[in-house]
Amino acid sequence: MSRLVMKFGGTSVANIERIRNVARHVKREVDAGHEVAVVVSAMAGKTNELVAWCTEASPMHDAREYDAVVASGEQVTSGLLAIVLQGMGIQARSWQGWQIPIKTSDAHASARIEDIDGSEIIKRFRERKEVAVIAGFQGINPETNRITTLGRGGSDTSAVAIAAAVKADRCDIYTDVDGVYTTDPRIVPKARRLDKIAFEDMLELASQGAKVLQVRSVELGMVHNMPIFVRSSFDKPEDIDPHANQPPGTLICSEEEIMESHVVTGIAFSKDEAQISVRQIEDKPGVAASIFGPLADANINVDMIVQNVSEDGKTTDLTFTVPAADYTRAKDTITAAKAKIGYARLDTATDVAKISVIGSGMRSHAGVAAQAFSALAGRNINIRAITTSEIKFSVLIDAAYTELAVRTLHTLYGLDQA
Amino acid sequence: MSRLVMKFGGTSVANIERIRNVARHVKREVDAGHEVAVVVSAMAGKTNELVAWCTEASPMHDAREYDAVVASGEQVTSGLLAIVLQGMGIQARSWQGWQIPIKTSDAHASARIEDIDGSEIIKRFRERKEVAVIAGFQGINPETNRITTLGRGGSDTSAVAIAAAVKADRCDIYTDVDGVYTTDPRIVPKARRLDKIAFEDMLELASQGAKVLQVRSVELGMVHNMPIFVRSSFDKPEDIDPHANQPPGTLICSEEEIMESHVVTGIAFSKDEAQISVRQIEDKPGVAASIFGPLADANINVDMIVQNVSEDGKTTDLTFTVPAADYTRAKDTITAAKAKIGYARLDTATDVAKISVIGSGMRSHAGVAAQAFSALAGRNINIRAITTSEIKFSVLIDAAYTELAVRTLHTLYGLDQA
């Protein structure tokens, strides 16, 4: 017998028929003897509708009221799934964040989970074989007794945090893809589904644009060493053998549990980037702050930052990227601060893409990046900038070469399907 | 300065534009220096949608889960109204039933309010001039910490109970009519809006088919002597002078506060009635129970019951009415119990209407009913059955004569507009 948390997103619970399908997945695990907590999102489209009402009510709305409004979406789904499960003869009850309670920080609309009391849920697993149906995405601010939400996509984070709190053996995230791929299969038909991936690698993949899982949920999984299994909610529940060693999907787990690991795990990319190069700034302390301070104040997320060592010890160039949507604002912000920063000119490009190669195996393998540079050169793809970390490197290229670059690297690192 | 509770129903909060209109009503009272708590229903149509989902999920759904799902409608409106009020520069916050808390019985889906702690809301009136925006219709079962609802139309009851808990001076119920009328103006064009009506009379009017207010809310108003003011939510907030002695509407209050009272206050009627007469039952103890027990078991609401004194001391006839929708079930139930009841035959009629004449002035005026009988006879309207109480009498007639009977009695008792 295992203890499982099963998480279902908005498209999986979009109507009663789909909720019934979710319930059959739950029943399969219950029938196999497992203790189950289910975490659900709002019905597809509901959260957007509620958010739109808040914005219509007032563009500058109180985040505490926003949370009260928006959290209602998950409340509805949790009650409905409990009803459907009961109708199938399964003992079940719904739980709102404030009932468990799921205590969070007071950062309304983007709260962080601080503490979950899993004792009552565990007690009911044991005494009543009761399935806990938990509203994702929400919690309570214990100081004010008010509803909080975790920010968009927060239900993944709810699920992993709850899994840790109830000491689950695994957290299953049911989603509209059947696992984590070496790269986007729409770009690289030879992309391969990974059976396993280390938390660190998944964290980089998620941060670099792979949208399978929310980054914070992977962080939490890593902190609590809670295995996360990404699998498809579209599989027919009846077709799955709960006793099979591993059904189709990708297990995100600690590095030690991955026997044979590739040097490179996956390749992520993001197309909607813009590049701004600030030329001939003075090479002295504080100059970087004079650039990124105003950008932070303008709430612009800077991604890559590249600054080379000054050639003459006096001036240097600094390049950074921002989301394409923020390009004009970023350029205007830097232009407005020109006197304070003190630079010669700005060189900018909007049609650029960032390709990231990820793999914790890089730690022990030298020259992984060098292979990429020469392979890209072989395709006549010019590299605009490079950044590296311990288990990842990223290159900035012209967006037109994105697909070619991703496919080239996918083959280079032996990620293509057999 | 007064302390007010203002209640708005589903049509008044059906979209953000209407919620803005509600907020202007609230602002008017706040600007006039009053302390205000607002009670809101779900947006029009939302509760029906949520109820339909529960039924689709399982026809025999758990009332506790139903409550969690359905209470979300009021949660949304309370948050949205708080946002709009804040946008107008008014200090406001939303309150869910569990936050106040509004403690109820454990009868999920039709819970009764048992206790409301109004202290924090009063404190915030005083210290922050904060408007409390309260989700109507819902509460919490303090034993299980689960959401309860009061049953359809429960927001009126929430409003009056909250008014009592925060020691309000008045509870204003904003609705789609501008007050309580002597009878339905669609039937009797000369119907007159009452400036004031006693709790007792309103209770009878509401029980006898006038749909302005939920019966329980009037009961609560009577128990706590909380004046309830029924007024229109469609009036433009700007057109109302908050300092006027009494804006258009009807004040429901204790009898003592009504100076010049008519003997008859109003006339109610209900058309969808069916009549069942059980002929020649034995005139002995327990025979009524043998009829109404099975009907109660079948969840059929019996309205009028008329049993005459036996002529011969041996057998008698018993007549009762049920809603037309329950007629067939009621007849089948009585037929199935024939052996146990022991009756000769059933006489039934489906096209019957009940006309009720209401007025606490009847207590001190003899012959009020007798006038009605002769007036109806003068119109050739046959009376099938009569029931009376201290401040009301009802007659059962052929439905075809409903309008004629109501108009005749309306004129008879001097209720027509000048």
Residue A185 near chain B (CB below 8 Å): no
Given a cut of 90, is residue B365 above it in pLDDT?
A: no
Distance from the first to the final alpha carbon of chain B: 36
pLDDT at A244: 67
Structure tokens at B200: 């007792």
Q: Where are the beta strands (DSSP E) in A13-81?
A: 35-40
Interchain proximity B72–A75, CB inside 8 Å: yes
User: DSSP of B217-282, one letter per residue?
Assistant: HHHHHHHHT--EEEEESSS-GGG--TTSSS-SSEEEE-GGG-SS--S--EEEEEEEEEEEEEEEEE
Q: How confident is the model at residue B242 (pLDDT cuts 50, 70, 90)?
A: low
Element (H, E) at B196: strand B196-198
Q: How many residues does the structure list for chain B?
A: 418
d(CA B35, CA B33): 7
Q: How confident is the model at residue B83 (pLDDT cuts 50, 70, 90)?
A: very high
pLDDT at A210: 66
Q: Where are the beta strands (DSSP E) in B23-68?
A: 35-40
Q: Which of A56, A64, A65 sits opposite B16 (nearest CB)?
A: A56
Residue B50 near chain A (CB below 8 Å): yes
Domain positions in chain B are: 3-255, 266-412
Query: What would be the CATH architecture of the domain defined by B3-255?
Result: 3-Layer(aba) Sandwich (3.40)
Distance from the first to the final alpha carbon of chain A: 36
Residue A237 near chain B (CB below 8 Å): no
Q: Which of B60, B62, B82 sits opposite A65 (nearest CB)?
A: B82
Chain A residues lying within 8 Å of B117, measured CB to CB? none
pLDDT digits (tens, 9 = 90+) for B298-324: 888 898 998 877 777 788 889 999 999
Residue A8 near chain B (CB below 8 Å): no
Given a cut of 80, is residue B211 above it in pLDDT?
A: no
Task: Single out the residue of B353, B354, B356 nearest to residue B392, CA to CA.
Answer: B356
Structure tokens at B380: 């050739």
Interchain proximity A62–B86, CB inside 8 Å: yes
pLDDT at B244: 67
Cis, bond preceding B189 (omega within 30 deg of 0):
no
Chain A residues lying within 8 Å of B98, measured CB to CB? 98
pLDDT at B8: 97
d(CA B24, CA B47): 25
Portion 77-96 of B in contact with A at CB < 8 A: 78-80, 82-84, 86-87, 93-94, 96
pLDDT at B247: 80
Task: Single out the residue of A4, A1, A2, A26 nearest to residue A162, CA to CA.
Answer: A4
Residue A415 phi/psi, 5-degree rounding, is -95, -10
Q: What's the average model confidence in pLDDT over B290-298?
A: 90
> Which CATH superfamily is A266-412 part of?
VC0802-like (3.30.2130.10)
Q: How far from A241 is each of A89, A91, A179, A227, CA to CA, in Å? A: 21, 22, 17, 20
What residue type is assigned to position B1 of the chain? M
Q: Residue B377: CB partners within 8 Å, gap ≥ 6?
A: none
Q: What's the average model confidence in pLDDT over B197-218?
A: 86
Neighbours of A197 (CB within 10 A): 28
Chain A residues lying within 8 Å of B61, measured CB to CB? 83, 86-87
How far A401 CA sits from the closest chain B CA (Å)?
A: 47
Structure tokens at A238: 């009846």
Dihedral of CA A45/A46/A48/A52: which sign? positive
Burial of B306 (C-beta count, 10 Å sphere; 0-12/13-18/19+)? middle
Sites in chain A below the pLDDT cut of 70? 209-210, 242-245, 260-261
Say if CB A399 and CB A345 are below 8 A apart.
Answer: no
pLDDT digits (tens, 9 = 90+) for B371-401: 999 999 999 999 999 998 888 999 999 999 9
Residue percentage of chain B with pLDDT more than 90: 75
Residue A54 near chain B (CB below 8 Å): yes
In this predicted structure, which of A38-47, B52-61, B232-241, B260-269 has the lowest mean pLDDT? B232-241
Least CA distance to B15: which residue of chain A? A53
Burial of B254 (C-beta count, 10 Å sphere; 0-12/13-18/19+)? middle
Chain A residues lying within 8 Å of B78, measured CB to CB? 68
Q: Which of B57, B73, B98 sits opposite A84 (nearest CB)?
A: B57
Structure tokens at A240: 């799955």
3-state class (DSSP) for residue B368: helix
Portion 60-79 of B in contact with A at CB < 8 A: 60-62, 64-69, 71-73, 75-76, 78-79
What's the whole-model pTM score? 0.86
Q: How confident is the model at residue B209 (pLDDT cuts 50, 70, 90)?
A: low
Residue A50 near chain B (CB below 8 Å): yes
Structure tokens at B91: 């200090």
pLDDT at A278: 93
3-state class (DSSP) for residue A217: helix
Mean pLDDT for all residues in chain B: 92
pLDDT at A242: 65
